[in-house]
């Protein structure tokens, strides 16, 4: 699954430039969905590349435990089983 940067840019622009609060909130929600999807894909890519949960957490600015808790049930199961905890 790919997420074109154009979609992210359009959502960000709509969230910040619209004068209608309801439309801005919808755009902000869409921006969050797109960003979360990109982040999940990058966590999977990091696990595939052999990064540990601690390394991923460091990149995200959270603890290893927080990263693992947030993503373990969302990434592909084969990536969680083979991932290093440290």
pLDDT in tens, 10-28: 777 777 777 888 888 888 8
Separation between Cα atoms, residue 78 and residue 46, nearest integer Å = 13
Mean per-residue pLDDT of the chain: 86
3-class SS shares of the chain: helix, strand, coil, % to 5: 70, 0, 30
Q: CA dihedral in degrees (40, 75, 43, 69; nearest 10)?
A: 90
Instruction: For residue range 33-56, list pLDDT tens digits in order.
Output: 989 999 999 999 999 999 999 999
Nearest residue to 43 via CA among 79, 7, 78, 9? 79
Cα torsion 57, 63, 58, 28: sign: positive
């Amino acid at each position: 699954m790919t997420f074109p940067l154009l979609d992210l840019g359009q959502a960000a622009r709509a969230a910040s430039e619209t004068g209608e609060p309801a439309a801005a909130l919808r755009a902000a929600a869409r921006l969050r969905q797109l960003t979360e999807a990109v982040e999940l894909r990058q966590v999977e890519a990091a696990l595939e590349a052999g990064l540990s949960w601690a390394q991923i957490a460091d990149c995200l600015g959270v603890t290893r435990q927080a990263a693992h808790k947030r993503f373990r049930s969302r990434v592909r199961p084969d990536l969680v089983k083979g991932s290093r905890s440290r």
